[in-house]
Amino acid sequence: MTDAPTLRTLLRRSDLALELVSPVDTALLDRPLRWVHSSDLADPTPFLTEDLVLLTTGTQFRDEDSVAAHAYVRRLAERGVAGLGFGTEVHRAGIPAELIAACAEVGMPLFEVPYRTPFIAIARAHAEAIAAQAYARRTWALDTQRALAIAALRPRGLESTLSELARRLDVWVGLFDATGSLAHQHPQTALDAETRQDLAAHAGDLIARGAQATQSFTVGAQPFLLFTLGRGGSLRGVIALATGALDPEARTVVTSVIAMAGLAREQSEQLGRRTARLNRQVLESLLLDDPTLARRVLGAVPPAPIVVAVAEANAPAEAIIEWCERRRANDAIPFFAAEGREGLTLCVSARHEDLITEAAERFTARWGVSEADGYSAFARLHEQAHLALARGTGPVSRYSDAASASMIGALATDEARMVAESRLAPVRRHDEASGTDLERTLRVWLEHDAKLDAAAAALGVHRHTVRSRVAQASALLGLDLSTFPARAELWVALSTLSD
């Protein structure tokens, strides 16, 4: 790729024989030049643009007038002139010392143009350099477009295309999916974790707004350009480039990649919808405890023993499945997922159960998880997962925890609660009218296996007080609490209303 024409480019042309006179920061010599202009006006700045080289023969300078020379150079610097060329032996022998001093003070590159080099030759040389650079960039763009088209035909064509784009631009390129998660990057280790997190957050904000956009974004000292994928209101991701600017040719290439990526994501989603319908049919087959269809369609299923998990109704099913697909590709974690009538179902091997916990944390969705068993018990595992989700309150609720808690919870229907309230009504009315604490005493007494001393210690009262309260409650309820059936009935009533 040909570099943009600069003052250094002109100074290196041996045929021009230009010689730098004033000491300057070498970075100024690499400043891209727009044009070369000549003028002997005392103040040519109204007719100049920034980033050009001005040539002069010096007829506007008076001998030893350092004030005028300094004012002249300052005006050029303020206008954005990138360098000053002085043609010697035309009107003056050599360059005036006051002009050399003024350029050194301001930091303006000053070079001598020998008598044998016409100004038009310098302008022509720069025009040729601009043409060569433009031709090189057009050639680069065509070669890059061909390389990207070939990359798109490879397996995982979108990822291959983005990696090829990163190599051609020589910058980091990342793809964020519709959830704002980093789905692909090249080079893999170019960015630190904190920078990736900041970019992911910004990409997520762009997607949440739902409008097509191109934005510049800076993390630390590194600038980025972000481009949304898809139509407004239906964004499918963000492409990020670790650069602050693109020339027209590079922007054309990036625009074509964005269009290609948006189309690829849309096609992928269409394929995903067809796959989702097929997976729903596979799920129906598994719920018949028959994995035959699943093995034929999927080729392979997660090795048994398996656990089945179901997500709450508002879980982002498509995003979760896409994330699981990346985990399968990157970490070889087999899974089966389908969005059925009752929500998202996820099946993994018991040894990969942590995948469910990670999904719950990443997408802030609640899950119910079954016990581990084989495919012949899939329907039962699916039911266990739904029961765990219904009973649990945390991000991940396991059936083993819910089942071990109590069987009474399974009986806590609205009808059971009405019966319990009616059964305990005499005690509650007495407590309310007399200010006693019979209901709590009964609960603590039963929790301590109907032992007076232990209950008294827990309540902070004498054991005779506990005995008296239990006897009083027994009379109010019409129950002989010295018998196990009566105590069991009372405990069920208290537990049913404990929520």
Nearest to 91 by CA among 57, 68, 61, 62: 57
CB 147 within 8 A of CB 168: yes
Between CA 240 and CA 203 the distance in angstroms is: 8
Of 389, 405, 421, the one marking the end of a domain is 405
Nearest to 326 by CA among 177, 204, 206: 177
Same structural domain, 16 and 125: yes
Domain assignment of residue 145, yes or no: no
Task: Give me the pLDDT at residue 13, please.
Answer: 92
Domain assignment of residue 274, yes or no: no
Sign, CA dihedral 269-274-275-280, equals positive
Of 344, 376, 405, the one marking the end of a domain is 405
Same structural domain, 258 and 316: no
Nearest to 283 by CA among 305, 261, 298, 270: 298
Same structural domain, 35 and 113: yes
Sheet with strand 367-369: strands edge to edge? 335-340, 343-349, 306-311, 367-369, 396-398
Domain assignment of residue 442, yes or no: yes
Structure tokens at 429: 């009315």
Q: How far is CA 98 from CA 4, 61, 68, 341, 461, in A?
A: 32, 10, 9, 87, 105
Which stretches of 291-341 are DSSP H helices? 292-298, 317-331
Write b or e for each residue in 449-471: b if 16 or more Cβ atoms lie within 10 A of its Cβ, otherwise e: ebebebbbeebebeeebbeebbe
Structure tokens at 465: 């007080």
**Is 128 in a helix, a strand, or coil?**
helix
Task: Give me the pLDDT at residue 205, please.
Answer: 84
Domain assignment of residue 374, yes or no: yes
CATH number for the domain that contains residue 94: 3.40.1390.20
Same structural domain, 170 and 91: no
Nearest to 112 by CA among 21, 35, 12: 21
Same structural domain, 387 and 340: yes
Nearest to 215 by CA among 176, 183, 249, 187: 176
Between CA 262 and CA 322 the distance in angstroms is: 16
Domain assignment of residue 144, yes or no: no
For each of the chain's 499 residues, which pLDDT tens digit applies? 446 799 999 999 999 999 999 888 888 898 889 899 999 999 999 999 999 999 999 998 887 788 999 999 999 999 999 999 999 998 888 899 999 999 999 999 999 999 999 999 999 999 999 998 888 889 998 998 899 888 888 777 888 888 999 999 999 999 888 777 888 899 988 788 888 888 888 888 888 787 777 888 888 888 999 988 877 666 778 889 999 888 888 888 888 888 877 776 666 666 666 776 777 888 888 888 878 878 887 777 899 899 999 999 888 887 888 788 878 877 788 899 888 777 899 999 999 999 999 888 888 788 999 999 999 999 999 999 998 888 877 888 888 776 555 555 556 667 777 888 888 899 999 989 989 899 999 989 988 888 999 999 989 999 999 999 999 989 999 989 889 888 988 888 888 776 5
Domain count, the chain: 4
